[in-house]
Amino acid sequence: MSQQRNGQAAGVSDGGVFPDLPEATVARLPEYLRALHHLAETGFETVSSEGLAAAAGVNSAKLRKDLSHLGSYGTRGVGYDVALLIAQIEHVLGLTQRRAVALVGVGNLGHALAGYGGFSTRGFRIAALFDADPDRIGERINGLVVKDIARLPEVVAAEAISIALIATPAHAAQLVADQLVAAGVTSILNFAPCVLSVPDGVDVRKVDLAIELQILSFHEHRKSALTTLPAPAGNGRMKIRPTLNGEALAT
Ligand SMILES: NC(=O)c1ccc[n+]([C@@H]2O[C@H](COP(=O)([O-])OP(=O)(O)OC[C@H]3O[C@@H](n4cnc5c(N)ncnc54)[C@H](O)[C@@H]3O)[C@@H](O)[C@H]2O)c1
């Protein structure tokens, strides 16, 4: 996932109420939270930094540094109190109350997102669904009726929505972003494959599974270029090293 910030450039600080957190730390906090919830559900009351780091898939030194930003250092020989750490991280992430989220574009992807139960257990409530297609408006998904995008301002205000997901085609995404911002939305998760232009103070994050696959493709390409081949003279094996233009070079 990539991020586009039009608010503060670096760190996350509001002048004292929150600690000044590096963006990379903010990005790892949800991983710690997911791992902590799993530990709590399986009966753990405390966890060592190594145990939590392994459960979250990060390095333990990095985890200790991240948590020290929250003023959480654990107890020597005991580790971190799981419930306390969950409460601290949820407080910093603003998850102490479930946030209402709007979804715009209820096509193939929008249907899957609207039906996904995982948002509610992670602190979010899909509060409204919008589309511009008269054939979609009025459809009921997961207890919500798809509304006309024209009703965005009224519904955003009534439901106190500050975060929205865009799942429209790329050609419509900028117009939808403009409508969301005009209605008062200040954070956007964009699934459409395009860059959005938003005013200062609006945060945009982008999810593009095709980009993730392209990065994996690069690694596959590199691995295949590094495949060892038998040397022509039969004395050992020859390594193939990729060059910058993608051609293989025997070394
Ligand atoms: N991020 C990812 O990994 C990922 C994966 C799949 C698809 N996508 C992207 O998600 C988007 C949706 O894909 P899809 O397959 O669901 O498309 P889709 O055509 O099935 O659905 C798009 C929906 O957006 C609605 N729409 C169009 N213009 C609108 C507007 N101005 N206001 C409100 N609604 C509008 C359409 O009526 C339709 O219901 C595309 O941009 C696609 O490229 C991203």
Question: Domain residues of the chain, as ranges?
Answer: 2-92, 99-207, 210-250
Q: Which helix (H) or strand (E) is 242 found in, with range? A: strand 240-242
What's the CA-to-centroid distance between 34 and ligand 1, angstroms?
A: 28
Distance 167 CA to ligand 1 centre (A): 4
Ligand 1 in reach of 132 Cβ (< 6 A): yes
Report whether 244 belongs to an annotated binding site: no
Q: Ligand 1 centroid to 88 CA: how many Å?
A: 36
Q: What is the pLDDT, as a whole number, of residue 1?
A: 61
Distance separating alpha carbons of residues 229 and 149, to the nearest angstrom: 58
Out of 3.40.50.720, 1.10.1200.10, 3.40.710.10, 2.60.40.1120, the CATH code matching 99-207 is: 3.40.50.720
Query: What is the pLDDT, as a whole number, of residue 124?
Result: 94
Residue 133 CB less than 6 A away from ligand 1: yes
Q: Cβ(176) to ligand 1 under 6 A?
A: yes
Q: What is the ipTM of this complex?
A: 0.98
- Give the pLDDT of residue 190: 98
pTM over 0.90: no
Q: What is the pLDDT of residue 136?
A: 98
The beta strands (E) that lie in 57-190 are given as 80-81, 99-104, 124-131, 140-141, 144-148, 163-166, 187-190
Rounded to whole angstroms, the Cα distance separating 192 from 187 reads 15
Say if domain 2-92 classifies as CATH 1.10.10.10: yes
Sign of CA dihedral 219, 222, 228, 230: positive
> In order along the chain (251 residues), what is the average pLDDT of each group of 10 residues?
50 53 94 96 95 95 94 85 95 91 98 93 94 98 96 98 98 98 98 98 96 95 79 56 47 42
Angle at 39 (CA atoms; ends 37, 40), nearest 5 degrees: 65
